[in-house]
Amino acid sequence: MSEINVPADSQSRVPVVKDASTVMVVRDSAAGPEVFLQRRVGAMAFAAGMTVFPGGGVDPSDGTADIDWAGPEPAWWAAKFGTTEVRAKALVAAAVRETFEECGVLLAGPTADSVVSDTTGYRDARGALERRDVSLAAFLAAEKLVLRADLLRPWANWITPVIEPRRYDTRFFVAVLPEGQLADGATSEADEVQWRTPVEALDRWRAGTDILLPPTWSQLVALGEFASTAEVLAAEVRIDPIMPVLSDGGGRQVLMFPDNQRYFADLPDQGRLKGSVRE
């Protein structure tokens, strides 16, 4: 188990929880499905130095924006994630925007049944989106692109525990890398990117090469059960919100979440992780 020191007055200073979306971009390889991972730069205010999936905060205005949309409607996503239609639409929009910003993968196309095969022509727009000079809706409209919600699948929901100074209610999605597109590291938020099978990623974590927070670890364990991206997309996943909580055990405070004993048993000497939750 992991021992965690918590200020006595932490419960009285619980920060506001913000919505966030994270996308596990996967592709097939000879060794099985690989997932795109990035190591966050050390100067980041949240999860600095951690190895994570692409993702970021939600823009609530996307929930009411006029977006050309293909695939499951917001009502379907709302049912999957247990939220409102407006919030669900914003979550899906954030998933598409953040994936494009952070690794150049664009889940959109000229028509409802097509997807762009080369995103290099949108480099300037990608930078504008990252700087928040333009909204996702405005970008899609200007480029005459349709958001492909059908290329995403809902996967999980983790909420940052109350002990953290920054808290997120994060919905995890999975998407297969579109044919012809390349995932890159051209973002100010990552200093290293990698494609790894879940087994490889977990081995690197156990060796202390990469640092994985519980939500990232949990998703990698789950993805490791599938032999192909087709199986990943076809999986019927039940999404129950997970918020790690502290519990007293043997005179120590232990962070509790599904399979926490397995996580802490394999945890290398990476310092006192407190179970931050984003991706």
Domain boundary assignment for the chain: 10-266
Beta carbons within 8 Å of 64's beta carbon, 6+ residues apart:
86, 89
DSSP state of 193: E
The whole-number pLDDT of residue 253 equals: 81
Residue 271 has pLDDT above 60, yes or no: no
Specify whether the CB–CB gap between 177 and 105 falls below 8 A. Answer: yes
Residue 5 has pLDDT above 50, yes or no: no
HSE, side-chain direction, 13 A CA sphere, residue 11: 3
Write out the two tokens for 59.
């823009």
Specify whether the CB–CB gap between 37 and 196 falls below 8 A. Answer: yes
Beta carbons within 8 Å of 106's beta carbon, 6+ residues apart:
96, 99, 100, 115, 116, 119, 122, 145, 178, 181
SS3 content of the chain, % helix, strand, coil (to 5): 30, 25, 45
Average pLDDT, the chain: 88
Range 22-26 average pLDDT:
98
Range 235-263 average pLDDT:
89
- Tell me: the pLDDT tens digits for 161-200? 988 888 999 999 999 999 999 999 876 665 789 999 999 9
Domain 10-266 adopts which CATH fold? Nucleoside Triphosphate Pyrophosphohydrolase (3.90.79)
- Tell me: the pLDDT tens digits for 39-56? 975 544 455 578 999 999
Displacement of CA 42 from its chain's centroid (Å) = 18
